Structure 1
């Protein structure tokens, strides 16, 4: 069977040079249900796009007929294309781009079904976005049978992929698959050889509008052998124990090259609950690494600068830009969730 890996393709690490960043523009739906909510979301998404475009090209996919609306929010250097959209989480609905040593570009197109066929989600249009974006780039498309989202995987570029059990094997996704079957499908499309499984994600991610455990809010590689991990220092927050368990798994793990992982802990913001009294899942792990920059979630919190210092040390060749991510998190994700890198072949 011909697979991307058998043809020499692999998913490079996020710090690999980019050709551009892809994003999607919020459109009216159940999440952005009122003009006020939609406007606030568009301001937040645009702040990210306008930051990234100062470092690399950005292409913004907007719903049909909404180009003029988008132009009111984003910098004129942001390229805009129209395609039918349901939502605005390009990390999850877009393709996972792959490169080959000879310069070829490909794309893994996972099955997208609204984060496990959740009752509130719509994906009639979004299930086709990965194929459409791949087509716009000229990338060779490989359709996978795996129900997965870009936020459910994180790679080091040297053969290792991070995943969570509750996403890859969870209800509504691939509950009838074995771990071995999931790993085989991931390796065939990503060019990886070792999967490190975390048991779950953050507590809030299992609420009605959560992703049920995306990896990109709890752990991310910053270079081969080194992982940033979200930790909640406050015992009053339910993620305190969760994070201890996840860090223990990471510290005990080895990567595809046989290295024991070095884990750098990144403390959560000090705020523990939202205005409704629910525990927040604010996380600095959900940052985006682009050419010359790390776009880091900010929360108007005393720990913003501490996180910025950690990321600056992890990426000494990049500028750390703090962008307020509270409105993005209020809608179900973070900066990493709304961006998708197209690597430079």
Structure 2
């Protein structure tokens, strides 16, 4: 997610056709198809390993340590499934992990060329189907509205479905990145319009049509749409940068002042803090600070903006939290540990990754355990 633009190769689809697709999706999938909360027990976590084939070896070398430390932290509690660009890349990664004294017992590999590392956005979405069995959803991915190369990464869900011998639900008519979606696992959906209902993703889809598709395929009925801000960043303001369902009844976010600094309107801030679940119960809130200072990479580049701690990832035994070599790292870690007393909060340095557009949640994807 860094330096280059690609033209958006999107075909405009008539609204009536999309409405028909939405109704068909609803009829076929039904409300029994659900996306479980990130907190449910995982079979494993998916990572797309950095490589040099799109942006060069400097790009790879500056961020690769983040993947090593994520793998180190996760392997004791769950499997780590790594998407490697090639067989030679798989061997290189195995050697890296061995040199870091990370056991490979719980590490598996899938060889598939990718454009970049953002598996949350382009990777498989695991859901429980109407028969209670797990399936993989393959939503459309177009490089955040044609801003970056994407064709290789868009193939990852289909490849993973074949590797796992799981049924695949083709939702490629709708561009929905994983980082744009938050669900509480109990029927509530939280997102920004700017990152989903945007002409650069879904030019002919109305909000009602998108609601129908999301209801059918994620098991949600209560929609909390924030407006967000188009072009605020490469993602057009993904929700997982500033507001998350930490648990099914608690939203992790920032103070109103920090949300304003992040770029949210006062209307969005009020709407977020007034959020209620599908039963009409107000959510609890836990606030995390922004970094005290603007983030500076390990190679000395001042990014000119602050970092968020809300983009954490919940594993079976650990919670991976982004850190920035900042005074507020410890403040955020203590706050997150109070939310997850049964897991160990592990700080992962994301300064160099953040220079390219994302943090921990952006580069991880959970695979829930078995079926329910």
Same fold (TM over 0.5): yes
Whether 2:215 is the aligned partner of 1:187: answer: yes
Q: Does residue 309 of structure 2 align to residue 284 of structure 1?
A: yes
**Structure 2 residue 243 is the aligned partner of structure 1 residue 206:** no
Please say if 1:224 is aligned against 2:251: no
Q: Residue deviations 1:240-265, cap 9 Å, x none? A: 56275543211122221211222222
* 1:9 counterpart SS class: coil
Structure 1 alignment gaps of length 5 or more:
none
- For 1:293, which of 318, 341, 347 is the aligned residue? 318
Distance 1:308 1:72, change over 3 A: same
Q: Given the alignment, which residue of 92, 117, 127 partners 1:88?
A: 117
**In 2: Cα distance, 1:124 partner to 1:240 partner:** 30
Q: Is the 8 A contact 2:31 2:216 kept in 1?
A: no
Mark the CA change 1:263 to 1:245 in structure 2 (over 3 Å): closer, same or farther. Answer: farther
Aligned to 2:92: 69
* Pairing of 1:131-170 with structure 2 (within 5 A): 131-144=158-171, 145-170=173-198
The structure-2 alpha-carbon separation of the partners of 1:29 and 1:165, relative to structure 1 and needing over 3 Å to count, comes to farther
RMSD: 2.3
Whole-angstrom distance in 2 between the partners of 1:301 and 1:338: 21
Deviation at 1:320, TM superposition (A): 0.8
How far apart, CA to CA, are the structure 2 residues paired with 1:152 and 1:177?
16
- SS of the aligned residue for 1:72 comes to helix
Q: Which residue in the other structure is 1:116 paired with?
A: 145
Larger Rg belongs to? 2
Between the aligned partners of 2:174 and 2:223, the Cα distance in structure 1 is 15
How many pairs does the alignment contain?
335
Could you tell me how far 1:225 is from its partner in structure 2?
Answer: 2.7
SS, match of residue 331 in structure 2? helix
The structural deviation recorded for 1:278 is 4.8
Verify the 8 A CA contact 2:30 2:130 in the aligned structure 1: no
Match of 1:59 among 78, 81, 89: 81
Distance 2:278 2:201 in 1: 26
Q: Distance in 1 between matches of 2:342 and 2:302?
A: 40
Task: Name the stretch that deviates more: 283-292 or 312-321.
Answer: 312-321
Render the CA deviation track for 1:79-125: whole Å, top value 9, x for unaligned. Answer: 2221121111111111110025864111211001111111xx11221
Report the CA distance between 1:27 and its aligned residue: 1.7
Give unmatched runs, 5+ long, in structure 2. 1-23
SS at 2:30's partner residue?
helix
Which of residues 307, 331, 335 in structure 2 aligns to 1:310? 335
Do the aligned partners of 2:292 and 2:306 also contact (CA within 8 Å) in 1?
Answer: no
Preserved contact between residue 31 and residue 215 of structure 2 (Cα < 8 Å): no
TM-score, normalised via structure 2 length: 0.83
**Offset of 1:189 from its aligned partner?**
0.9
Q: CA deviation at 1:149?
A: 0.7
* Local SS of the residue matching 1:221: strand
